[in-house]
Structure 1
Amino acid sequence: MLFDMEALEAQNRYKILASTVTPRPIAWVTTLSENGAINAAPYSFFNALGHEPPTLALGLLAGKGRFKDTATNILATGEFVVNLVSEDNAAAMNVTCIDAPPEIDELALAGLTPAPSHAVRPPRIAESPVSFECRVLTSLVTGPRQTIVIGRIVCAHVGDAFVQDAERCYIDTQGLRLVGRMHGSGWYARCTDLFQMDRPNWAEWQRNGEASRVASDGAL
């Protein structure tokens, strides 16, 4: 079935994207307002973009009549921290989804611990297994209710328990037990049902193809 995204209402466009682009990693974003108030909120229109330089992107939607606190703080200060969400802190992450007023500290509300960052002013979340300190590389307002922020990752924090080899930067990815966002209201996914496929090699592909042709010709 064809869905004309230009003709659909915004809420229906959201339903199609949120129901099909899954699972999505969750950016648990901490920011500081210009007055120094801490804000924390999760966003799932998020992913890493590359490593030269290390960058990530956030798609930030507006609230009722204005950008949400996260977007407002990032655009005002140019700094933010992306914390990742594990199964252990999923419930606390859900608390920070609350539609609290700007002056409310969602970390305190959820019983979480702000930890000092190394290079930026906003704190990271101590309970998160991975945190990326970021500075805004660029931002683009794509509509009256949406802005995209591309951040340059200046520091990465990974819990010691998940670092297998610090010199070679080997991380115990499965041990992180990260969760992803799924379809509909309140649906999430665990990263437990995994499978592996080797990346094809062109030379081997050609050799295998030639071997198959020879075997086929021999069968005739």
Structure 2
Amino acid sequence: MEIDVDELDSAYRLLAGSVIPRPIAWVSTRGEAGENLAPYSFFNVVSVDPPVVMFAPVGIGEDLKDTPRNVLDSEEFVVNVVTMELAEAMNATSATVEGSEFEHAGLERAEGVRVDVPRVADAKVAFECELHDFVEIGRSTMVLGEVVYAHVAEDATTEDKVDVTKLDAVGRLSGSYYASTRDRFSMERPP
């Protein structure tokens, strides 16, 4: 199959079904309407110096949803890493609900250390972020956050480093499909 992207109504299914698995930013924010917790699978690391992560929700301007609107207002957010034991709760927070998604999904919150935003208390890794930049790209918005504080569960580390064999992170595939990082293999990089 050959695809002229200009002829598509949307490239979403092409991209979301091909760029897999995608890590999930489970973003918590606080705004005028209260707390918000929502998953975003257009997420990744952008820089290590300064440490910057990004997530890209659909919507710009007046069409912004609660999460990016809260980030614009407060200039801070937390990215919680989704692991297998939290996958069902993460999925529950993707629903449109009145009130707090923390309450809806039965999640305990822990207050931030450097930001005034709660994190998912049971998340193995959570990054407290301050807004670095907010960029409209087409019909989406790229939110860049500088990591100013990190929470890492002891049982996800070995010798004070995150141990990928202990962190069973969940990634988004497409539609209702997800993947865990249980099946791992190693390859040495060539010299």
More helix by share: 1
1:175 maps to 166
2:20 maps to 22
Amino acid at match of 1:192: R
Amino acid at match of 1:48: V
The equivalences for 1:114-129 within 5 A come to: 114-129=109-124
How far did residue 163 of structure 1 move?
2.3
How far did residue 6 of structure 1 move?
2.7
Do residues 31 (structure 1) and 29 (structure 2) align? yes
Q: 1:159 aligns with which of 113, 135, 153?
A: 153
Q: Any gaps of 5 or more consecutive residues in structure 1?
A: 202-220
Count residues in correspondence. Answer: 190
1:82 maps to 79
More strand by share: 2
2:184 aligned counterpart, secondary structure: coil
Taking structure 2 as the reference length, the TM-score comes to: 0.94
- Residues of 2 paired with 1:96 and 1:106: CA distance? 5
Larger Rg: 1
Residues 157 and 166 in structure 2, CA contact (< 8 A), matched pair in contact too: no
Identity %: 39
Amino acid at match of 2:125: V
Taking structure 1 as the reference length, the TM-score comes to: 0.82
- Residues of 1 paired with 2:184 and 2:168: CA distance? 12
How far did residue 36 of structure 1 move?
6.1
Amino acid at match of 1:182: L
The equivalences for 1:20-169 within 5 A come to: 20-33=18-31, 35=32, 37-62=34-59, 66-101=63-98, 104-143=99-138, 145-166=139-160
- Residues of 1 paired with 2:59 and 2:123: CA distance? 25
How far did residue 199 of structure 1 move?
1.0
Q: List, as ranges, runs of 4+ consecutive aligned residues in structure 1 with deviation greater than 4 Å.
A: none
- Residues of 1 paired with 2:80 and 2:106: CA distance? 16
- Residues of 1 paired with 2:188 and 2:47: CA distance? 22
Greater relative contact order, per chain length (Cα 8 Å cut-off, separation 6+):
2
